[in-house]
Amino acid sequence: QQPVQSPQAVILREGEDAVINCSSSKALYSVHWYRQKHGEAPVFLMILLKGGEQKGHDKISASFNEKKQQSSLYLTASQLSYSGTYFCGTQSGNTPLVFGKGTRLSVIA
């Protein structure tokens, strides 16, 4: 079942923060976050496996709520290099990794 991402698109100025949400109608085994730049392949950012888990590196972090039905990706003090389309991918049971429709993030100077 495809997760729902919001917002569809966001425009930020350098240094601003953003939150991208990913939700499912049922409990998830895991949530993946990927970033895809124009003309390139998606690149892995992080995986969250446990309800209540939070992860992050540099100024990009994510959380996975206790009921394991929602995850949020936090981008703080955004940089031009953060621009791209962010996908959450979810997996439950034995199903393959299924992606949301993506959130297009544009960071401008």
User: Which residues would be at the binding site for other proteins (CB under 8 A)?
Assistant: 29-30, 32, 36, 40-44, 47, 49, 85, 87, 89, 91, 94-99, 101-102, 104
For other proteins, the closer of residues 18 and 48 by Cβ is 48
Tokens of 93: 């049971």
For other proteins, the closer of residues 17 and 95 by Cβ is 95
The rounded distance, in Å, linking the Cα atoms of 67 and 69 is 5
CB of 7 to other proteins, least distance (A): 14
CB of 101 to other proteins, least distance (A): 5
Give whole-number Cα distances, 62 to 36, 59, 81, in Å: 17, 10, 18
Candidates 30, 33, 29, 39; CA nearest to 20 is 33
For other proteins, the closer of residues 3 and 75 by Cβ is 3
For other proteins, the closer of residues 32 and 75 by Cβ is 32
Residues in CB range of 3: below 8 A, 6 or more apart: 22, 23, 24, 28, 31, 88, 89, 90, 98, 99, 100
CB of 57 to other proteins, least distance (A): 14
CB of 15 to other proteins, least distance (A): 26
Beta bridge partners of 20: 73
